[in-house]
Chains A and B, each alone.
Chain A
Amino acid sequence: MKVTIDGITVDVEPGTSILNAARQIGGDIVPPAMCYYSKLAGSGGKCRTCLVKVTKGSEKDPRPMPKLVASCRTGVMDGMEVQNITSPEVIEARKGVVEMLLINHPLDCPVCDQAGECHLQDLGFEHGAAKTRYEFDRRTFEKIDIGDKIQLHMTRCILCYRCVFTADQITNTRLHGILNRGDHSEISTYISKAVDNDFSGNMIDVCPVGALTDKTFRFKNRVWFTKPVEAHRDCDKCCGKVTLWYKGEDVIRVTGRKDVYGEVEEFICNTCRFDKKKTADWVIEGPRKVSHQSVISANHYEFTPLPVVKTNPVLMEANKEQFERETRL
């Protein structure tokens, strides 16, 4: 079925969400997503950053949708027309969502371990306001050890629920979830419990902000001073495909390989993540490709400007309009 997003038409499979249809086009018309994670069933719809305007429902029923919809949880219909960055209403709503997300999120990027890899930082830069209008005390929490290798700092949490879905779906036991309601909600383990299974480290990778951090890496370096390298090893528990983060000759962090939307390609086990920190443990594949827009690429790689649309000949033909748009909107 055909769907048109910001004037660009693409063919997608039935059942595709608007967000994933936009991802097939790529570039700057892809709505941001803080809570949606394609590898986690049931995720999405909560953070409201991916709101879009459906100006035409479908060929059969062309009526526009009355409200903005969460693109990650709304399926496309044949002939649907969607506005993302071309809708002032969407941009305004997204600005509001960013403001809400930042109400209780400390702007301590200079000391936060996630700085440089933080989706909220990117979102705030692209859609946020220069100043906050919130003048009240922020919500704060004590740090919690939810496992011997993972530190939870709820103060930074934006309650995207990704880590809860991860723990539910790729591990055997349910040990943590949401406590309380409203802005008192918090992620926590059940009393006296710790998330200690072999795949718990993936909760760190799915966290879009710095709420869940790797205790073996915390405060050891800034991400833009490290060199990411793709590597693999034979592992009996996971795929063994990882990114090694070097400081000089030392591996100081191991993570899953992430795609252009910040989602890990395959989840990895805790042994690979926490216990294999020597180059000799790995087969090195080569430097990791990093977007020129990422702070991680600073001083490391040469780059060419990111094309607005992925280099797919079919899309290029279909999307002349976007190619004519030389600058980012």
Chain B
Amino acid sequence: MGRKLLLEHINVPGINTFDVYRSKGGYASVEKALKTMSPEAIVEEVKKSGLRGRGGAGFPTGMKWSFLAKPEGVARYLVCNGDESEPGTFKDRYLMTYIPHLLIEGMIVASFALGANTSYIYLRGEMMPQVRILERAIAEAKAKGFLGKNILGTGYDLELYVQPGGGAYICGEETALLESLEGKRGNPRIKPPFPAIAGLYGCPTVVNNVESIAAVVPIINEGGDEYAKIGIGRSTGTKLISAGGNLKKPGVYEIELGVPVEEFIYSDEYCGGIANGKRLKAVVAGGSSVPILPANLILKTINNEARLMSYESLSDGGFVSGTMLGSGGFIAYDEDACIVRNTWNFARFYHHESCGQCSPCREGTGWMEKVLHRLEYGHGKMSDMDLLVDVSKKIEGNTICPLGDAAAWPVASAIRHFRDEFEWHVTNASEATSRNYGLAHYADPLKVVETA
């Protein structure tokens, strides 16, 4: 059994209430941090832990905190990014729903470390149940003296607010989130300046993912060195994975980073294998924005080593034969899944969610969606695949924010690994439109795995 740090008490009845959470050792990190540690020591502890941002980019959290500008007389802010909108990713809302005090505990410690006296939890607009849960939890924590003025008599003040957004995917991008939080249209800002210098209301701001902030709690409780012992290489600690798709047991799992992908998919501790006894065809390992990999490449690297659930192992081989851990939105596809339809679906999402500020993303996402739509509905051409690859290249890296990359990578990778399936859609248009899919129609990506 893998070690659980965040979800250890998730099944305790009433863990969403302050009293039960406290009886299980909750808020111990607040007492430890505020009474016995300096803000610098907390940042140092987070640095030692090797914690990497759990929102998708994987940037070292301690380093991000140390970049925060600290001018005299200027407010600093901590903003928790709970705008979880990536297709396939649903771990943060699980955490906020069932164990909200963990996030609030992490927010208090992180805010203290950063010198923030006002902090925000920004959520996607549709997540109103979670807004209510968090507001109730904040009220409980405040009533018990863990929020508000003079927390635990230490002289530290912190006000924590929950703010639902308008419900746009782009508001998960940190600068768009800040714009939205300021009450403006959620458009990404052009960087520099980075939020650590000029963020919310022009003040130094740190934006962290829900899971990253929650992970601060075990880091303070057990020490950064202990936390760093879990995991593998530069992928330390545990990670929440939201597993979906054609799995026997989809759900949110806490894994120790470094678990083999094969074990994660097939062991009973985690996903229990592919549903209905089918075979695995492909996996999107880190949410819809990361490159899709066929079964052979997700289970083994190009060097025939077991692929692990870690930042480094999943990205082994670059985008040619690897992918990214991203936000941990693990989507498995069985042999009957249509990659063309899936790619079109992703492209439709990114087209819909592009903010429209910069021309390659605004126009390119729509173009890709239209080409994929005609491929899916039997009107495609053999040249469409090259066109899609070229358009995705024109978007990638040329946009204001990473949404352009997020739109381009799934398309480019799907064509890279499943080109024969795209071609089959062109040459067998009637079968494609009748939804008669299956491995018989194109080269079987599993053969490599089975013969290995």
Interface, chain A (partner B; CB < 8 A): 44-49, 51, 67-68, 70, 73, 75, 93, 96-97, 99-101, 103-104, 133-134, 136, 158-159, 161, 178, 180-185
Which chain B residues in 346-370 approach chain A with CB under 8 Å?
Answer: 351-360, 362-367, 370
Complex CA gap A133/B383 in Å reads 11
B201 to chain A, nearest CB (A): 16
With A93-B398, A133-B387 already in contact, the answer to whether A181 and B367 are too (CB < 8 A) is: no
Q: How big is the B interface, by class?
A: 20 to 34
Q: Which of B357, B363, B400 has the most CB of A within 10 A?
A: B363
Contacts of B366 in A (CB 8 A): 103, 182-183
- CB of B190 within 8 A of CB of A48, answer no
Please indicate the chain B residues that have their CB under 8 angstroms from the CB of A45 in the complex: 190, 358, 400
**Alpha-carbon distance A134/B364, docked complex (angstroms):** 10
Instruction: Check: B394 CB closer than 8 A to any chain A CB.
Output: yes
Q: List residues of chain B with CB within 8 A of the CB of A67.
A: 397-398
Does B362 lie within 8 Å of A48, measured CB to CB? no
B427 at the interface (CB under 8 A from A): no
Question: Pick the contact of B356 from A49, A68, A159 — CB < 8 Å?
Answer: A159
Decide if A97 touches B355 in the complex (CB within 8 Å).
no
A70's partner among B190, B367, B394 (CB-CB below 8 A) is B190
Among B170, B363, B387, contact of A183 (Cβ-Cβ < 8 Å): B363
Bound together, the chains give a CA A51 to CA B359 distance in angstroms of 12
Which chain B residues (161-200) contact chain A, with CB distance < 8 Å? 168, 170, 185, 190, 192
Interchain nearest-CB distance for A101 vs B (Å): 5
Chain B nearest CB from A70 CB (Å) reads 7
Residues of chain A with a CB closer than 8 A to B117's CB: none
List residues of chain B with CB within 8 A of the CB of A100: 359-360, 362-364, 367, 394
B191 to A: closest C-beta gap in Å: 9
B221 at the A interface (CB under 8 A): no
Q: Which of B359, B364, B397, B399 has the most CB of A within 10 A?
A: B359
23 sampled A-B residue pairs with Cβ under 8 A: A45-B358, A47-B359, A48-B399, A70-B190, A75-B192, A93-B398, A96-B393, A100-B362, A101-B363, A104-B363, A133-B387, A134-B367, A136-B367, A158-B359, A159-B362, A178-B185, A181-B170, A181-B352, A181-B355, A181-B356, A182-B356, A182-B366, A183-B366
User: In the complex the two chains form, is B168's CB within 8 Å of A48's CB?
Assistant: no
Q: Are B351 and A96 in contact (CB under 8 A)?
A: no
A182 touches B360 (CB 8 A): no
- A residues in contact with B394, CB < 8 Å: 93, 96-97, 99-100
Instruction: Write out the residue numbers on chain A whose beta carbons fall within 8 Å of the beta carbon of B190.
Output: 44-45, 70, 73
Also in contact, A181 and B400, with CB within 8 A (given A46-B358, A46-B359, A48-B358): no
The total of interchain contacts (Cβ-Cβ below 8 angstroms) comes to 90
Chain B residues whose C-beta falls within 8 Å of the C-beta of A49 in the assembled complex? 359
Contacts of B363 in A (CB 8 A): 100-101, 103-104, 183
Are the C-beta atoms of A47 and B358 separated by less than 8 Å?
Answer: yes
Alpha-carbon gap, A215 to B19, bound state (A): 70
A183–B362 touching, CB < 8 Å: yes
> In whole angstroms, how far apart are the Cα atoms of A51 and B397 in the complex?
11
- Taking A100-B363, A101-B359 as known contacts, 7 extra A-B pairs with beta carbons closer than 8 A to each other, sorted by chain A number, are A68-B398, A100-B359, A100-B360, A100-B364, A136-B370, A183-B362, A183-B363
CB-CB under 8 A from A46, the residues of chain B are 357-359, 400
Where the two chains meet, the residues of B that have a C-beta atom closer than 8 Å to any C-beta of A are 168, 170, 185, 190, 192, 351-360, 362-367, 370, 387, 393-395, 397-400
A96 to B387, CA, bound (A): 12
Q: How far is the CB of B254 from chain A (nearest CB, A)?
A: 32
Chain B residues with CB under 8 Å of A48's CB are 358-360, 398-400
- Give the distance in Å from the alpha carbon of A67 to the alpha carbon of B364 in the complex: 18
A184: B residues at CB distance < 8 A: 356
Tell me whether A159 and B359 are in contact (CB under 8 A).
yes
Partner of B352, one of A70, A134, A178, A182: A182
Task: State the CA gap A93–B398 with chains docked (Å).
Answer: 7
| A157 CA / B329 CA spacing, docked (Å) | 38
What residues of B have a CB within 8 angstroms of the CB of A158 in the complex?
Answer: 359
Chain B residue at minimum C-beta to C-beta distance from A99: B394
Expressed in whole angstroms, the minimum distance between the Cβ of A161 and any Cβ of chain B is 8
Give the distance to chain B from A13, nearest Cβ to Cβ, in Å: 18
Whether A68 contacts B359 by the Cβ 8 Å rule is no
Task: Tell whether, in the assembled complex, residue A180 and residue B356 are in contact, meaning their CB atoms are under 8 Å apart.
Answer: yes
Cα–Cα distance between A57 and B395 once the two chains are bound (Å): 23
Q: How far is the CB of A57 from chain B (nearest CB, A)?
A: 12
Tell whether A182 pairs with B398 under 8 Å between CB atoms, given A46-B358, A46-B359, A48-B359: no
Choose among A73, A133, A181 the residue with the greatest number of B CB atoms under 10 Å from its CB: A181
With a cutoff of 8 Å between Cβ atoms, the chain A residues found around residue B351 in the complex are 182-183
Whether A178 lies near B356 (C-beta < 8 A) is: yes
Whether A182 pairs with B362 at a CB distance below 8 angstroms is yes
Cα A48 to Cα B404 in complex, Å, equals 12
What separation, in Å, do the CA atoms of A273 and B110 have in the docked complex?
Answer: 57
Nearest CB of chain A from residue B405's CB, rounded to whole Å: 9
Q: What distance in Å separates the Cβ of B378 from its nearest Cβ neighbour in chain A?
A: 16
Cα–Cα, bound, A185→B365 (Å): 14
B235 to chain A, nearest CB (A): 22
Q: How far is the CB of B209 from chain A (nearest CB, A)?
A: 22
Within the assembled complex, what's the spacing in Å between the Cα atoms of A44 and B357? 10
CA distance A96 to B392 in the complex (A): 10
Residue of A whose beta carbon sits closest to that of B394: A96
A130 to chain B, nearest CB (A): 16
In the complex, what distance in Å separates the CA atom of A75 from the CA atom of B354?
A: 27
Instruction: Output the residue of B192, B352, B398 with the most chain A CB within 10 A.
Output: B398
A182 touches B399 (CB 8 A): no
Residues of B within 8 A of A99 (CB): 394
What are the 6 tightest A-B residue pairs by CB atom distance, in nearest-first order?
A96-B394, A185-B356, A182-B354, A45-B190, A100-B363, A67-B397
Chain B residue at minimum C-beta to C-beta distance from A75 = B192
Contact status of A182 and B359, CB under 8 A, knowing A45-B190, A70-B190, A96-B394: no
Q: How far is the CA of A136 from the CA of B369 in the complex (A)?
A: 11
B168→A181 contact, CB < 8 A: yes
Residues of chain A contacted by B185 (CB below 8 angstroms) = 178
Q: How far is A200 from B398 in the complex, measured between Cα atoms in Å?
A: 33
Distance of A265 Cα from B309 Cα, bound (Å): 58
Closest Cβ–Cβ distance, residue B204 to chain A (whole Å): 19
Minimum Cβ distance to chain B for residue A58 (Å): 14
For the complex, what is the distance from the CA of A48 to the CA of B364, rounded to whole Å? 13
Instruction: Give min CB distance, A63 to chain B, whole Å.
Output: 16
The CA of A182 and the CA of B387, in the complex, are separated in Å by: 21
User: What is the CA–CA distance of A236 and B397 in the complex, to the nearest angstrom?
Assistant: 48
Most buried by A among B355, B365, B370, B394: B394
